[in-house]
Amino acid sequence: MTPIDLSDPDTYLAGPPHEYLAELRATDPVHWQETRQGGYWAVLKHRDVETVARQPLLFSSAERGVVLEDLEGDRLEQMRGMLLAMDPPKHRQVRKPLTPRMTPRALAGLETGIRAICADIFDAAAQAGEVEFVDDVAAALPTRVVGALMGLPREDWERVHKMAEAITHGQDPDYAAADGSAAEASAEMGMYGYQFAVDRAAREPEGDGDITDALLAVMDPVAFAMLFIQLVTAGQDTTQTMLSSGLLALLDHPAQLALLREDQTRIASAIEEIVRWANPLHYFRRTATRDTEISGTPIRKGDAVAMYYTSCNRDEDVFTDSQAFDITRSPNKHLSFGQAEHFCVGVHLARLEGRIFYEELLARFSGIERAGAPRRLRSNLNNSYKSVPIALKPR
């Protein structure tokens, strides 16, 4: 097949190159991808992605960060302040105060509030009839949930959302032109997080406190500010992608949508299939800390290694009929939530938001149809849409 540059954001404008990735899995599963900065190893098989993920000291997140582009100076240090770019033991120390607040039992009390948020969002959508589903509907839920969890002032929620959007959508000229560079937005969000932490540290926690109080008990405002960027952007972008890409997948597979309407107990398994088939992130990078090998391919110290979820989630050796969208798939060993050391700390929150969102969406609207052509985000990292026009017919 004609070679495709997996590092080029333009590659994904028409959708992920699944046919090409399937060919590489069969012929070149640890694939060297040339880039302007030199190149990296694209790891495409499920077993090999697991191998990399399970050895965080051999394949480091902190060494050079988790994106393909080599960051320097302050930008690299800022990324190293995020959980996703920490190696053990620091990663475990920073993650520890978050974990007990993100268990299914701890999050169960949020269900009523999340349903109320969904009701408010769907009230506005029903009144409009036709909506831009990404911004008007899908993005609104995580914006409000993350804002409430962290205790952000309600009047700041939309501002924080816009900063997060500029950071995660920085490769798309539509967002760069409107909001400045991703680096500028990241710096702005870091300053916001720092001032928020300083203000919060000056008062006593109310009751058991919130996630912000738990983090400030073990870190200073500077460290909090860097972690704040990840908590907000990750909680925002991946969830809105799960909701909007998931709806498109269901609309493109009407038999699956009918199956879900018929039996909403399938929503939990549908969410797992959505994040497998339309995984929110294409990859995460690691850097080899010594000479090693992956499935017989020599990897040198300092080499960049990218774990491609867009490929491993459709590995024919793991998933029967791997290119099919099947909400009844079981087992479903997708790797979209990560693996081992870096398994997503917010996984239970994402699943809770997704379940309630789809329950309320299907209960509220008898008709859900495309109202125009969706447009993909230009990005080599984010596997998402920036526009999904939808027409909604209330019951």
pLDDT for res 177: 53
Domain presence at residue 1: no
pLDDT for res 180: 54
Domain presence at residue 3: no
Six token digits for residue 57: 């000291």
Contact between 318 and 258 under an 8 Å Cβ cutoff? The reply is no
- Nearest in space to 52 (alpha carbons), one of 64, 65, 42, 37: 42
Domain presence at residue 327: yes
What's the CATH code of the domain at 311?
1.10.630.10
d(CA 219, CA 159): 25
pLDDT in tens, 241-258: 999 999 999 999 999 999
pLDDT for res 311: 98
> For the chain, which residues score pLDDT lower than 50?
179
> 268 φ, ψ to 5°?
-60, -45
Domain presence at residue 120: yes
pLDDT for res 290: 98
Cis amide bond preceding 331, omega within 30: yes
Range of the structural domain that residue 316 is part of: 9-394
pLDDT for res 183: 80
Contact between 365 and 247 under an 8 Å Cβ cutoff? The reply is no
Domain presence at residue 54: yes
Domain presence at residue 390: yes
pLDDT for res 41: 98
Cα dihedral 382, 387, 388, 391, rounded to 10, equals 160
Domain presence at residue 372: yes
Domain presence at residue 4: no
pTM equals 0.94
Count of structural domains within the chain: 1
Six token digits for residue 304: 């960049």
